[in-house]
Structure 1
Amino acid sequence: MTETGNPSQHANVNQYSGSHIQILEGLEAVRRRPGMYIGSTGEHGLHHMVYEVVSYAVNEHLAGHADVIDVTITADGGIRIADNGRGVSVEVEEPTGKSAVERELTELSFGPKPHAGYVVCGGLSGLGLSVVNALSSRLTVEVHRDGHRWTQEYQKGAPITPLTRNEETSKHGTTIEFLPDADIFDTTRYSFATLSERLQELAFLNAGLAISLTDERPERPVRYLHTDGLRAYVTHLNPYPPSLVHSPAIAFESENQDKTISVQVALQWNTWSPGEFHSFANSTRTHEGGTHEEGFRTALTDLINDYARRQQQLSADEADITARAIHEGLTAVVSVKLAHPVFEGATRTKLGNPEADTYVQEVIREHLTDWLDHHPNEAAAIIRHILNAPTKHGRR
């Protein structure tokens, strides 16, 4: 990482003052072109800042170290995010002479930092915390780790205090509080409803993770904890029990032998909607779809046709049921977690890993076939519902 300024004036980690601020060239690039990293400087990008810090906390949960995330919209319009994970490492790393927490907040290095120890990572894959720091007028990090509380303050991406060891504590975790830079964003007012929707989504995607949201403008606390995971998500999306073709929702999950990819799926048909599909990769919504969606759709279409013919609900001389008919009234959520995700676009809206297509197809064919075979009455009702769709034949 290149720094501007005279190298002889570089501050020692224990001797920070306002005169020692060094603007990192990489973070200056973020400030000049924020849209490349968070999508926009409007409301979307503003809220994306929150999601990046939350993603770091979710990574701690996925690694087995955190089960609580508290998000607060502060009275001055900033954001505070606290988790009960391990706490970002405070160890000084050679040859930089910087603490690990400072490197997390100031360096643009793609991929998880070496000390993080994550197999699966969400967010901007190692960039998130530094990008948020760069685009904040001020940021404070508080770490409970190694028996003490540690703090450090930043302005526009640059440290203005050293990492300071404070009182002893038995707590563990990381708290980051930041105020988005009004010189960069079109608006700095956060939407409680927008944040609430995304945080509830993350709670559905990560069973057993408790996420709270508090608004101090005035206070409006909510707390999400879903032990039933994606099945609970689909139940939330299908709020009209009389219209359900079957109940409860179908749900299953699987992980490959190398533990480099896992898949969670939940689906349920109803009679009132045209269909609703949500896909995620590493807990990030993939609005443009990708290979995991393609695998799901391909396997589901082939499997439903095969099952309908095996049960003689579709005769041999009838044309295949179309994918469109199968998706009519279907509410489905597919979530994949990968060790090495490949996304299109900086804001990660389309998944490109071919192995996701292959593995999702494998999981759907195995587990959904097993469910249909063990629930013949519900399976027959699903096939009847699909066959009654006006789009059951024609283009697949």
Structure 2
Amino acid sequence: MTAVTAEAPAHDDPHGYSARHLSVLEGLEAVRKRPGMYIGSTDSRGLTHCLWEIVDNSVDEALAGHCTKISVVLHADGSYEVCDNGRGIPVDIEPRTGLPGVELVMTRLHAGGKFGGVSYTASGGLHGVGASVVNALSARLDVEVDRDGHTHAMSFKRGLPGEFAAPGPERRFKKKSGLRKIAEVPPGVTGTRVRFWPDLQIFLKDARIDTETVMDRMRQTAFLVPGLEISVRDERGEEPVAETFKFDGGISEFCDYLAKDEPICDTLRFRGRGHFTETVPVLDEQGHLTPTDVERDLEVDVALRWGTGYDTVCKSFVNVIATPKHGTHVTGFDRALVRTINEQLRATKLLKNGDEPVTKDDILEGLTAVVTVRLPEPQFEGQTKEVLGTSAATRIVARVVSEGLKEAFDNPKRGARQQMRAVLEKIVAAAKARIAARTHRDNQRRKNALENSALPAKLVDCRTTDDRSELFIVEGDSALGTAKLARNSEFQALLPIRGKILNVQKASMADMLKNAECAAIIQVVGAGSGRTFDLEAARYGRVILMADADVDGAHIRCLLLTLFYRYMRPMLEAGRVFAAVPPLHRIQLTNPKKGQDKYVYCYTDAELRRKLVEFERRGIRWKEPIQRYKGLGEMDADQLAETTMDPRRRMLRRIRLHDAEEAARIFDLLMGSEVAPRREFITAGAAELDAERIDA
């Protein structure tokens, strides 16, 4: 693959832009020059994607029926290893390039065994760039293949084949092509082992693969490939962490695992297949690409169940590869649900003539579903494979799901008729609640804050209504008084809350709306709540949580974030929720130098210690004792504006949806209704607690 980039022409020479200004990147150079194009980013997400590329190759062997065990090891030296007992990468010479199969797939983009549909009928790695991209972005990559009675080995440095003098990526390296035999293995023993050290010239220094992320992905894969045994071992901590996954129940068992609420009906399983014709370019004997019509088979496997809760969990997969942003297969699933459920509601008279049809959101309330399809050479939108683009999947999935749902409603299994009736009644109840909430919202909403007499009296509103507007949710009335003086009334509004709001993690929506603080926040944001939340109607461009920098303040932020996560999630998805970062300490300098501020603020104890060491080294004196802020109310207006509210100087922490999901998971563990997991968590962490920090 060749990438061409262009330098900007010189400003003083309008005619100086010529062919010599073009750069041609050959082969893996393009990957190193633009890594984000292949792995999405160079932070922890991109590094994790590299591991998935290697793991997916092993899983493809399992899908083809040649692999029963996969091992993933996160080594203490920062390297990552994937082993399998599949057929092994081919080691013979590829005739057109003269290279061994191992070297070909590791050094050439778009080289692999998944293009022709002969070696793999369904696979996750489809672009032929996975292993070679990981190789290009690794300071060192070692591959060992057991085939033909021998272990064949090869090493690479930043994509170049060769040999290292000793273990580790920084050892002396000698460029050399070709495989070497390092051991004998019994006949019939096959497999592949790949170990790579990420290149710190490419990845950020703090890039790290999270253990829980690997565990979740491997557990998920074991569900999707029944009978496949996957072991994970993390050797980076003081004590190694290891776990093995193997499930025989397939996606029905996966669906039950994902569902956290009580079931209304048994898990339904729909299987089917369809055929479609696809025009693809095929290499002929002369090496030319010729458009050719190819017949494709697409297998559909769907598991779903409705529960008593309100959250929706929908996981979708293509050839075991997760598609978090879904695609055409989920589009077909949604269409079949909406059409078939509405037909059933009309047939059972639960929806009468003139009633609004139920919407997708009504049907998805309390639904847990796993949608999987398998097909050769699926069309993904981008190398990260987050969205399926194969258009025929919509039609085939819709047909399979529609037929399966009709059969489940019309001819239910023994004892399931009442369950299916309960599903329809739950969907109708959700539709009625949505319509009632919409009517209420339309009646209560006002064009602007001044016209809305229903807004809480304690709201200190701003004058502007554009995207600059900010709503500060302030902890306590004492901080509110100072914040009134510190704010810019043009675009900064204030809403005080009294103490800790309701724990909405285990409270019903009715209890949440009865809570004065929760109701005030939802009312002031002005965009509704839950499934009826309308991001476009939000009255403020951003919401900033401003709480004390202590344990209580952190608890209040967690409660507020749980409220936003459960009932105003689009605000988090749009990146419009922030946490203010108030300082912990203020150092007053007694002899500030010219141009140096008299007051220096520190936001952590570690930062304070570093500053004091720096001041001692530079001979800068300060006034004792150093002020320690116990709360926002201790600051005067100038200090609060300078450190927390003035956009030119403040520090904000954007709350991402990933942060909120993790916080909600921990909050559910610590304050949810289930006691046993909380007891296990406290027992496991008791030894790590410093007894002297207990304030009792």
TM-score, normalisation: structure 1: 0.88
The answer to whether the aligner puts 1:245 opposite 2:264 as a matched pair is yes
- Could you say which residue in structure 2 is the equivalent of 1:165? 181
Aligned-residue offset at 1:79: 0.7
- Relative to structure 2, which stretch is displaced further, 309-318 or 67-76? 309-318
Unaligned 5+ segments in structure 1 are: 3-23
The answer to whether the aligner puts 1:381 opposite 2:416 as a matched pair is no
Task: Tell me the amino acid that sits aligned with residue 244 of structure 1.
Answer: P
- Could you say which residue in structure 1 is the equivalent of 2:509? none
Matches within 5 A, 1:6-17: none
- Relative to structure 2, which stretch is displaced further, 347-356 or 250-259? 250-259
Alignment counterpart, residue 384 of structure 2, candidates 336, 344, 347: 347
Cα 1:74/1:113, change in 2 over 3 Å: farther
Alignment counterpart, residue 213 of structure 2, candidates 194, 209, 232: 194
Cα 1:127/1:391, change in 2 over 3 Å: farther
- C-alpha separation between the residues in 1 aligned to 2:386 and 2:208? 24
Other structure's SS at 2:86 match: coil
Aligned-residue offset at 1:168: 2.3
Asked whether the equivalents of residues 324 and 391 of structure 1 are also in contact (C-alpha less than 8 Å), the reply is: no
- Once the two structures are superposed, residues 270-292 of structure 1 have per-residue CA deviations (whole angstroms, 9 ceiling, x without a partner) of 12233121222222222222111
Task: Tell me the amino acid that sits aligned with residue 133 of structure 1.
Answer: N
The answer to whether the aligner puts 1:183 opposite 2:209 as a matched pair is no
Task: Tell me the amino acid that sits aligned with residue 253 of structure 2.
Answer: A
Task: Tell me the amino acid that sits aligned with residue 228 of structure 1.
Answer: G
- Relative to structure 2, which stretch is displaced further, 99-108 or 367-376? 367-376
Cα 1:77/1:115, change in 2 over 3 Å: farther
Unaligned 5+ segments in structure 2 are: 3-24, 164-177, 276-294, 439-531, 533-696
Alignment counterpart, residue 228 of structure 1, candidates 249, 260, 276: 249
Alignment counterpart, residue 132 of structure 1, candidates 116, 131, 134: 134
- Relative to structure 2, which stretch is displaced further, 361-370 or 307-316? 307-316
- Once the two structures are superposed, residues 24-52 of structure 1 have per-residue CA deviations (whole angstroms, 9 ceiling, x without a partner) of 92111101111000000011100000100
- Could you say which residue in structure 2 is the equivalent of 1:319? 356
- Relative to structure 2, which stretch is displaced further, 109-118 or 164-173? 109-118
- C-alpha separation between the residues in 1 aligned to 2:208 and 2:273? 40
Alignment counterpart, residue 154 of structure 1, candidates 148, 153, 156: 156
Task: Tell me the amino acid that sits aligned with residue 338 of structure 1.
Answer: L
Cα 1:110/1:145, change in 2 over 3 Å: closer
Other structure's SS at 2:65 match: coil
- Could you say which residue in structure 2 is the equivalent of 1:297? 334
Task: Tell me the amino acid that sits aligned with residue 251 of structure 1.
Answer: R
State percent identity of aligned pairs.
39
Asked whether the equivalents of residues 381 and 388 of structure 2 are also in contact (C-alpha less than 8 Å), the reply is: yes
- Could you say which residue in structure 2 is the equivalent of 1:97? 98
Asked whether the equivalents of residues 143 and 153 of structure 2 are also in contact (C-alpha less than 8 Å), the reply is: yes
- C-alpha separation between the residues in 2 aligned to 1:146 and 1:295? 45
- Could you say which residue in structure 2 is the equivalent of 1:82? 83
TM-score, normalisation: structure 2: 0.51
- Could you say which residue in structure 1 is the equivalent of 2:510? none
The answer to whether the aligner puts 1:204 opposite 2:223 as a matched pair is yes
- Once the two structures are superposed, residues 298-320 of structure 1 have per-residue CA deviations (whole angstroms, 9 ceiling, x without a partner) of 00111111122223333344332
Asked whether the equivalents of residues 70 and 82 of structure 1 are also in contact (C-alpha less than 8 Å), the reply is: yes
- C-alpha separation between the residues in 1 aligned to 2:101 and 2:117? 8
Other structure's SS at 2:109 match: coil
- Relative to structure 2, which stretch is displaced further, 230-239 or 110-119? 110-119
- C-alpha separation between the residues in 1 aligned to 2:376 and 2:118? 13
- C-alpha separation between the residues in 1 aligned to 2:296 and 2:67? 20
Alignment counterpart, residue 219 of structure 1, candidates 233, 240, 246: 240
Which has the larger Rg?
Answer: 2
The answer to whether the aligner puts 1:275 opposite 2:312 as a matched pair is yes
- Could you say which residue in structure 2 is the equivalent of 1:32? 33
Cα 1:117/1:124, change in 2 over 3 Å: closer
Q: Tell me how large the CA RMSD over aligned residues is.
A: 2.2
- Relative to structure 2, which stretch is displaced further, 38-47 or 315-324? 315-324
